[in-house]
Structure 1
Amino acid sequence: MRKIITVIFCTIGVIFMACKTEPDSNAVKKEVLNIHDKLMIDGEKVVKNRMKLDTILKSDKLKSAKDSITLINLISRLNKADENMMDWMHFFKHNFKGKTEQEELDYYKSEMIKIRSVEDGYIKVTRESDSVLKVYNVLPSKNLKMEQHKH
């Protein structure tokens, strides 16, 4: 009877170990790349908003030196957000020959944290630039996906 109970518990243990809830490295990698793809589209908006703000900066629409400084700082932050994305892409590794599944998983989890940080930066700076553009009666740029849905 004890042997049967031991076998049952061992079988249950093996089943639970096989049904791990943690995603594998390929799933995490796919999610990281999906975020990257979305950010590539968002990056277009960052560039367009930066160009519109630069146009305002060079125009006669500015009311004060303080407004000029605000725009210069915002343009700088848009540039930095774009640079952060380029840096992330430059250092991202796609292949892991000779690495274990756990090493790949750990790497892609760390990349997930980095790409989420880039995403947060894009979100904050595009919201702020959208608001500033509206103040100057300039329509903020739309994401490419949004424009495509209108057709």
Structure 2
Amino acid sequence: MKKIKTTLLTITTILCMAACQNEGDYKVIRKQVLDRHDQIMMDGEKAMNDKMMLDTLALSGLAKLKAQQPSLDTAAEHQEIKRLTKKLDDADERMNDWMHNFKTDVDGKSNQQAVDYFNGQKTKIAQLDSLYKALLKEAAVYLQKFNLKADTTMKSMDHMKM
């Protein structure tokens, strides 16, 4: 019995020491943040494509749709398009602010300070990711209302189909 207690105490001590010493490698966390950023940038491109489609819809598409659907409330649709494009612009602005304020250099910081900083950035970039995903879904639902689809490479607005 004494041998079991001693073994358990030794294992517990080793685990506690490992946990205290293992604060994480900031380089791993920084890479996770940068990788997530790269993924979000692709969503940002999709969001800007959606914004261009919304702008085109507002400028000329609604008039064409009004001719096909006389009951269409184009004033209300313009307001909805304006609301969605503002949300897309705001997300883009938030991403730009994050990129402007993000620092990869950790000179003068301890490993723990760097780990804490990059964990905080990881949280911020996760929030941006969620925002973009929600906005892309919202824009897709709105565009689908008019049977609009965009080619993901979208070289020109000719890819917009009604």
Write the deviation string for residues 79-112 of structure 1: whole angstroms up to 9, x where unpaired. Answer: 1111111111110000111101111011011111
Larger Rg: 2
Q: Does 1:48 align with 2:49?
A: yes
Question: Which 5+ residue runs of structure 2 have no aligned equivalent?
Answer: 67-71, 155-162
> How many angstroms apart in 2 are the aligned matches of 1:15 and 1:54?
58
Q: Which runs of structure 2 are paired with 1:55-94 in the superposition (5 Å)?
A: 55-59=56-60, 60=63, 61=65, 63-64=72-73, 65-94=75-104
Give the total of aligned pairs.
141
Identical positions, percent: 32
For 2:78 and 2:13, locate their aligned partners in 1 and report how far apart those are by CA, in whole Å.
Answer: 65
Runs of 4+ in 1 over 4 A off after TM superposition: 8-12, 19-22
| Letter aligned with residue 37 of structure 1 | D
How far is 1:15 from its partner?
5.1
- The answer for the alignment partner of 2:135 in structure 1 is 125
Who is 1:17 aligned against? Answer: 17
Q: Which residue of 2 aligns with 1:100?
A: 110
**Number of the residue aligned with 1:29:** 30
Q: Please, what TM-score do these two structures have when normalized by structure 1?
A: 0.81
Give the distance between the partners of 1:141 and 1:85, measured in 2 at CA.
24
Equivalent residue for 1:114?
124
Q: Is the deviation greater in 57-66 or in 105-114?
A: 57-66
Cα separation, partners in 2 of 1:41 and 1:143, compared to 1, 3 Å: farther
Q: Which amino acid aligns with 1:26?
A: K
Q: What is the correspondence of 1:133-144 to structure 2 with a 5 Å cutoff? A: 133-142=143-152
CA displacement at 1:29 relative to structure 2? 1.1
DSSP-derived class of the 1:95 partner: coil
Length-normalised TM-score, structure 2? 0.76
- In 2, the alpha carbon distance for the partners of 1:17 and 1:68 equals 62
Q: Are 1:49 and 1:141, in contact at CA under 8 Å, matched by a contact in 2?
A: no
